[in-house]
């Protein structure tokens, strides 16, 4: 899907919000074409999975008409959509983490760092980010790729800004270690 | 600035990378970067993060999926409420905090009160400590699923397992562990103390009445006891494996792998592996792993064979491992040693009983020698409370049946009932059998009455952790039907016709059961009430599982003068009654997540596409599960029977297509059955199914209406969903 022909501050854009809220499928499709790609990229970065990102975006747009009234128009629409999407993605990560086959005993598993370090020379950035623990990747992506403040990240994740800083620090260390084989 | 002499903190490097620092901070970090290659690389990596997935595009296919979901009535409540950052009470609450947020954001498909989706069903249970010592006090914090959010208090139910507990989870194993009360954070909290003898527990949370259950998508939550070093106890892992038996084989394999990794010097730990590898991974992979097991066993043997004073667990473990790798010489050595050094070991006693059983079955000795010689073995086993007691008593009772020895039956029945876990499914079998012997008729009747009473009282200990009280009521009634039918039959035979008919009516009122209806119809016929008999036969004829032409044959024999119109009207009424009865047990839910499948011709399909517009039976099977393979023929017949009505059967297999798989399909004569490989296991996850065979029936919109269906119930369920 290509970019959008509708700018985000145009009257058409403002009209979309009302039409989506009224259940207009064409308006929903137009909104998807306008912001779908940007939102998909956020979901992809957060979940590190195309399938999961698609599912998150699917859930967002399926629920939008009934939730559109929650957007009060004070901030940008894309910003609001990204926040909702990020929450959905984090919910999914949490659910997936519970579903995943978690090792019974910590000593049984080689963590992402260990695996990444072993393969540092051939891992590209995307793969290394994907191997980060979900809670660290979430902070890294929200901070570096999406530009959220630690306060905003804290609100999204249900943690304090200080904890967000700590997680970012751990993410950066793991990232460096995995890419360059150092700790 | 001290940064000049040491590396800036990661947060500052991240801020520099995203140009989010103040001008002063920016300059200071820049000065450091001039001299520090390592930090320059880090900044470059962080900037690269900004461009992750920057070429990705949202697809038209996804938009179509969204619009299709909307037009099909799909709705979702989005997590739009603002979150507050609560101060953390202790480090461990971080996960709970995230879970609280996540639960608040739970996606709800809003389609009717009886529907549930995965998000609605599952909350988050945190146990502290997560790896307790036996006897520890455990604090439970539960962030409720959407379905359980409205309750001020919730019940934490548990299945406590002790080292002597057997595999599978039948019988009265469940108990109420704690009541969780809603706290100021919105989470529910409570405490319970593990009984000292308990090594493993499976847990679920439910409403006070038990009408709503959160079983973690049928995975349950777990307590695995550990030692001081937080290493799970050997017995805890063994009990986990036994608890998973029949409900999640793959997790069972993972458990025994963990057991062997944590206890590498215990032969018993390794002895579990070959069987699980064969069951879960298939013959080809299991065969390839056998050489490694043989090397490991040889090393054990070399180290242990010459040593004296080994524990019974080690010797028994070596024997089991030798059997698993099919080493007959080693098997013989370790068996002799076990028998010599540990004559009262449960394994030795059970093997001795087995030998007697086989000698008797092969008529190597005179009739009755088994019962004489097994007595001292039984006495020692019972004294030791050997775990194999239930198997031994089962063997003995089956020998009494083969020998038609009513005196031996009279001896072994009380033993059987004393040591076997009480399960209602065995009562009709044994009851019916005992009723054939005049001297045991009273014992058989008592057994049936006890079971009927038990099912009527429905003690909560029998209710599985995954079952709601309503589901258990239905299950109890279904289990009571054959018990009551046998009892009714016996009462009528004994001349107590009124009590017998009342009992039969009660059985028939407990749900749709062609077998019970048939028995009732035959009884009415024998008593000369032809109208009542025919009306009841009409119910059997209305059932889609009955043979074609059944109704006509019955009518021709029983009442040839009955008009076709009247008979047709009775059958039509019975169909309506069946439909209502079947739909009463429906719990519709929507599937979430991808359901990608691979066809036998290599095409990728989605279950939602395959099932759309058709009543669909989804059958999970595995070539490693004989029971599921054995059902394939019946599934093919169901598919054939309903193909003209548009209903489908999809057989979902857990193994890739291979010559071996094709051979199985050919041998079972099911080459026309649509078989799909769940190549990403996401269909299995969407259904939350982890064992075989497992059957589901979906309506034409793709909703799962019936879960874990019995094979014989599937035709009725399909018929109930067809227009």
- CATH number where A66 lies: 1.10.1740.10
Last residue within a domain, chosen from B171, B206, B240: B240
Q: d(Cα B241, Cα B280) in Å, to the nearest integer?
A: 13
Q: How many CA atoms lie within 13 A of B462 on its CB side?
A: 19
Per DSSP, the residues of B33-100 read: HHH-HHHHHHHHHHHHHHTTTTT----HHHHHHHHHHHHTT-------SPPP-PPPSSTTHHHHHHHH
Q: Is the domain of B259 the same as that of B188?
A: no
Binary contact (A90, B102; C-beta < 8 A): yes
Mutate to test the interface with A, among B7, B9, B10, B253 (most CBs of A within 10 A): B10
> Is the CB of residue A145 less than 8 Å away from at least one CB of chain B?
yes
Q: Does residue B391 lie in a domain region?
A: yes
Q: Nearest Cα to B398, choosing from B423, B376, B424, B420? A: B420
CB under 8 Å to B626, separation ≥6 — which residues? none
Please tell me whether residues B279 and B412 are part of one structural domain. yes
My answer on whether B99 and B229 are in the same domain is yes
Is the same domain home to A10 and A31?
Answer: yes
Confidence check: pLDDT of B368 > 90: no
**Residue range B484-495: mean pLDDT, rounded:** 91
B365, pLDDT greater than 90: no
Whether residues A123 and A142 share a domain: the answer is yes
Highest mean pLDDT pick, B162-166, B199-203, B708-712: B199-203
Average pLDDT, chain A: 74
Comparing C-alpha atoms, which of B151, B144, B241 is closest to residue B202?
A: B241
B604-606 and B221-224: which strand pairing?
unpaired
Task: Specify whether A162 is located in the same domain as A179.
Answer: yes
Are A128 and A86 within one domain? Answer: no
State the CB neighbour count (10 A cutoff) for residue B2.
Answer: 6
CA–CA gap between residue B555 and residue B567 (Å, rounded) = 8
Q: Is residue B196 part of a domain?
A: yes
pLDDT at B703: 92
B 160-199 residues inside an 8 A Cβ radius of A: none
For range B57-63, the mean pLDDT? 85
Is A143 in the B-facing interface, judged by CB distances under 8 Å?
Answer: yes
B420 has a pLDDT exceeding 50: yes
Q: Has residue A143 got a pLDDT over 80? A: yes
Res. A9: pLDDT tops 80: no
Q: A105 and B262: CB-CB below 8 Å?
A: yes
| Residue B246 confidence (pLDDT) | 80
pLDDT value at B137 more than 60: yes
Is some CB atom of chain B closer than 8 A to the CB atom of A175?
Answer: yes
Put simply, the answer to whether A165 touches B66 (Cβ < 8 Å) is no
Residue-range definition of the domain harbouring residue B351: 252-456
Spatial distance between the Cα atoms of B233 and B211, rounded to a whole number of angstroms: 35
At residue B111, does pLDDT exceed 60?
no
Say if residue B140 is in the same domain as residue B212. Answer: yes
Contacts of B575-583 spanning 24+ positions with Cβ under 8 A: B575/B542, B575/B719, B577/B512, B577/B539, B577/B542, B578/B512, B578/B539, B578/B542, B578/B543, B578/B716, B578/B719, B578/B720, B579/B719, B579/B720, B581/B511, B581/B512, B582/B512, B582/B713, B582/B716, B582/B717, B582/B719, B582/B720, B583/B720
Judged against a pLDDT cut of 80, whether residue B576 lies above it is answered with yes
> Over 90: is that where the pLDDT of B112 sits?
no
Phi, psi dihedrals of residue B616, rounded to the nearest 5°: -130, 130
How far is residue B395's CA from residue B158's CA, in Å, rounded to a whole number? 31
Q: Does the distance separating the beta carbons of A157 and B98 come in below 8 Å?
A: yes
For residues A134 and A71, membership in a common domain is answered with no
pLDDT for B1 equals 39
CATH number of the domain encompassing residue A158: 1.10.10.10
pLDDT of residue B367: 67
Helix H, strand E, coil C: the string for B199-234 is CEEEEEEECCCCCCEECCCCCCEEEECECCCCCECH
Q: Do A9 and A88 lie in a common domain?
A: yes
**Residue B606: which CATH number?**
3.40.30.10
* Statement to judge: residues A87 and A152 lie in one domain: no
C-alpha distance from B489 to closest chain A C-alpha (Å): 49
Test A45 with B53 for CB contact under 8 angstroms: yes
Domain interval for residue A150: 111-183
CATH number at residue B572: 1.25.40
Question: What dihedral angle (degrees, nearest 10) is formed by the CA atoms of B413, B418, B422, B428?
Answer: 10
Q: What is the DSSP letter of B176?
A: E
Report the relative pairing of strands B616-621 and B648-653 from DSSP bridges.
parallel
Give the list of residues 6+ apart from residue B319 with CB closer than 8 angstroms, or none. B331, B334, B335, B338, B347
Using a CB-CB cut-off of 8 Å, the residues of chain A touching B98 are 90, 94, 135, 157-159
Q: How far apart are the C-alpha atoms of B551 and B542, rounded to whole Å?
A: 8
Specify the pLDDT at position B170.
83
Q: Examine residue B66 and state whether it is found in any structural domain, yes or no.
A: no
**DSSP output for B312-354:** HHHHHHHHHHHHHTT-HHHHHHHHHHHHHH-TT-HHHHHHHHH
Average of pLDDT values for B126-138? 93
Contacts of A38 (CB under 8 A, 6+ apart): A78, A82
Chain A CB within 8 Å of residue B75 CB: yes
Average pLDDT over chain B, rounded to an integer: 86
Question: Distance between CA B108 and CA B79 in Å, rounded?
Answer: 10
* Alpha-carbon distances, residue A2 vs A54, B257, B274 (angstroms): 16, 49, 53
| Number of domains composing chain A | 2
Tell me the per-residue pLDDT of A83-127, one tens digit each, with 9 for 90 and over: 889 888 888 777 665 444 344 433 333 333 333 333 333 346 777
- Say what the pLDDT of residue A115 is: 35
Question: For residue B140, how many C-alpha atoms fall within 13 Å in the half-sphere facing its CB?
Answer: 29
Query: Under DSSP, is residue B708 helix (H, G, I), strand (E, B) or coil?
Result: coil
pLDDT one-digit tens code per residue, B648-696: 999 999 888 988 899 999 999 999 999 999 988 889 888 878 778 999 9
Q: Is there a single domain that holds both residue A86 and residue A26? A: yes
On whether the CB atoms of residues A156 and A87 are closer than 8 A, the answer is yes
pLDDT number for residue B342 = 95
Please compute the mean of the pLDDT values over residues B439-460 and round it to a whole number. 90
Final residue in a domain of this structure, among A102, A120, A141: A102
> Which CA distances in Å does A67 have to A20, A53, A63, B78, B163?
10, 20, 6, 6, 52
Q: pLDDT digits over B2-33, tens only?
A: 344 467 888 888 888 877 777 778 778 877 88
Are B513 and B506 spatial neighbours (Cβ–Cβ below 8 Å)? no
Pairwise CA distance, residues A63 & B192, whole Å = 40
Count CB neighbours of B56 within 10 A. 15
Q: How many of the other CB atoms lie within 10 Å of CB of A124?
A: 10
> Is residue B88 a part of any domain in this protein?
no
Say yes or no: B556 and B654 in one domain. no
- Last residue of some domain: B555, B584, B613? B584
ipTM confidence:
0.82
């Amino acid at each position: 899907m290509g970019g959008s022909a509708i700018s985000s501050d145009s009257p058409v854009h403002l009209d979309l919000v009302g039409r989506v809220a009224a259940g207009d499928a064409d308006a929903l499709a137009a909104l998807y074409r306008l912001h779908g790609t940007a939102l998909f990229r956020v979901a992809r970065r957060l979940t590190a999975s195309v399938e999961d990102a698609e599912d998150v975006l699917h859930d967002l747009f399926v629920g939008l008409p009934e939730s559109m009234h929650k957007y009060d128009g004070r901030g940008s629409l894309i910003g609001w959509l990204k926040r909702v999407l990020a929450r959905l993605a984090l919910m999914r990560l949490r659910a997936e983490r519970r579903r995943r086959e978690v090792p019974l005993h910590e000593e049984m598993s080689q963590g992402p760092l260990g695996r990444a370090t072993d393969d540092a020379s051939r891992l590209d950035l995307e793969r290394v980010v994907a191997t980060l623990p979900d809670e660290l990747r979430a902070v890294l992506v929200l901070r570096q790729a999406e530009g959220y403040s630690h306060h905003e990240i804290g609100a999204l994740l249900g943690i304090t800004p200080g904890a967000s800083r700590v997680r970012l620090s751990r993410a950066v260390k793991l990232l460096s270690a995995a890419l360059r084989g150092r700790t | 600035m001290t940064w000049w002499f040491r590396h800036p903190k990661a947060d500052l490097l991240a801020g520099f990378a995203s140009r989010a620092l103040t001008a002063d901070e920016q300059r200071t970090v820049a000065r450091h970067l001039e001299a520090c290659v390592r930090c320059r690389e880090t900044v470059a990596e962080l900037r690269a993060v900004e461009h992750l997935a920057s070429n990705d595009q949202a697809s038209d296919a996804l938009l179509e999926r969204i619009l299709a979901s909307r037009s099909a009535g799909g709705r979702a409540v989005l997590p739009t409420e603002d979150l507050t950052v609560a101060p953390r009470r202790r480090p461990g609450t971080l996960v709970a905090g995230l879970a609280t947020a996540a639960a608040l954001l739970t996606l709800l498909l809003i389609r009717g009160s009886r529907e549930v989706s995965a998000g609605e069903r599952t909350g988050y249970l945190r146990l502290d400590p997560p790896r307790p010592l036996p006897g520890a006090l455990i604090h439970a914090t539960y962030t409720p699923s959407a379905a359980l959010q409205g309750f001020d208090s919730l019940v934490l139910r548990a299945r406590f397992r002790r080292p002597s507990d057997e595999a599978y989870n039948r019988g009265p194993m469940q108990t109420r562990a704690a009541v969780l009360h809603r706290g100021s954070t919105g989470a529910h909290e409570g405490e319970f103390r593990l009984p000292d003898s308990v090594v493993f527990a499976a847990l679920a949370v439910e409403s006070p009445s038990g009408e709503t259950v959160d079983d973690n998508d049928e995975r349950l939550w777990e307590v695995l006891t550990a030692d001081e070093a937080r290493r799970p106890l050997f017995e805890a892992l063994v009990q986990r494996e036994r608890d998973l038996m029949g409900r999640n084989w793959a997790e069972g394999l993972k458990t025994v792998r963990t057991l062997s990794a944590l206890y590498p010097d215990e032969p018993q730990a390794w002895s579990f592996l070959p069987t699980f590898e064969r069951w879960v991974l298939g013959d080809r992979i299991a065969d390839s792993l056998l050489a490694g097991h043989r090397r490991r066993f040889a090393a054990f043997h070399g180290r242990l064979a010459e040593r004296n004073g080994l524990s019974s667990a080690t010797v028994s473990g070596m024997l089991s491992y030798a059997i698993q790798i099919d080493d007959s010489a080693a098997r013989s050595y370790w068996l002799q040693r076990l028998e010599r050094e540990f004559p009262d070991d449960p394994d030795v006693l059970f093997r001795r009983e087995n030998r007697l059983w086989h000698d008797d079955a092969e008529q190597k000795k005179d009739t009755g020698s088994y019962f004489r010689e097994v007595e001292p073995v039984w006495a020692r086993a019972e004294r030791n409370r050997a775990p194999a007691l239930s198997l031994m008593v089962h063997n003995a009772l089956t020998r009494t049946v083969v020998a038609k020895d009513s005196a031996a039956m009279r001896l072994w029945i009380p033993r059987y009932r004393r040591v076997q876990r009480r399960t209602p499914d065995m009562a009709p079998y044994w009851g019916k059998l005992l009723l054939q012997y005049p001297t045991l008729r009273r014992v058989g009747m008592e057994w049936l009455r006890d079971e009927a009473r038990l099912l009527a009282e429905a003690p909560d200990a029998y209710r599985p952790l995954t079952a709601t009280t309503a589901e258990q009521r239905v299950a109890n009634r279904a289990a009571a039907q054959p018990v009551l039918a046998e009892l009714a039959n016996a009462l009528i035979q004994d001349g107590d016709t009124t009590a017998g008919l009342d009992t039969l009516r009660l059985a028939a009122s407990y749900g749709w059961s062609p077998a019970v209806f048939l028995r009732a119809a035959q009884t009415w016929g024998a008593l000369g009430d032809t109208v009542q008999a025919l009306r009841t036969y009409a119910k059997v004829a209305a059932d889609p599982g009955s043979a074609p032409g059944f109704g006509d044959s019955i009518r021709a024999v029983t009442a040839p003068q009955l008009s076709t119109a009247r008979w047709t009207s009775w059958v039509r009424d019975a169909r309506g009654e069946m439909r209502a009865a079947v739909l009463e047990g429906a719990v519709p839910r929507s599937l979430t997540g991808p359901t990608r499948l691979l066809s036998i011709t290599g095409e990728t399909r989605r279950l939602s596409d395959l099932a759309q517009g058709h009543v669909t039976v989804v059958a999970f099977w595995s070539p490693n599960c004989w029971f599921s393979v054995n059902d394939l023929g019946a599934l093919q017949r169901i598919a054939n029977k309903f193909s003209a009505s548009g209903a489908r059967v999809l057989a979902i297999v857990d193994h890739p297509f291979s010559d071996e798989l094709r051979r199985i399909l050919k041998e079972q004569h099911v080459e026309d059955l649509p078989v799909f490989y769940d190549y990403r296991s996401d269909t299995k996850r969407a259904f939350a199914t982890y064992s075989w065979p497992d059957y589901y029936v979906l309506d034409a919109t793709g909703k799962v209406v019936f879960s874990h269906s019995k094979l014989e119930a599937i035709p009725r369920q399909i018929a109930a969903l067809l227009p």
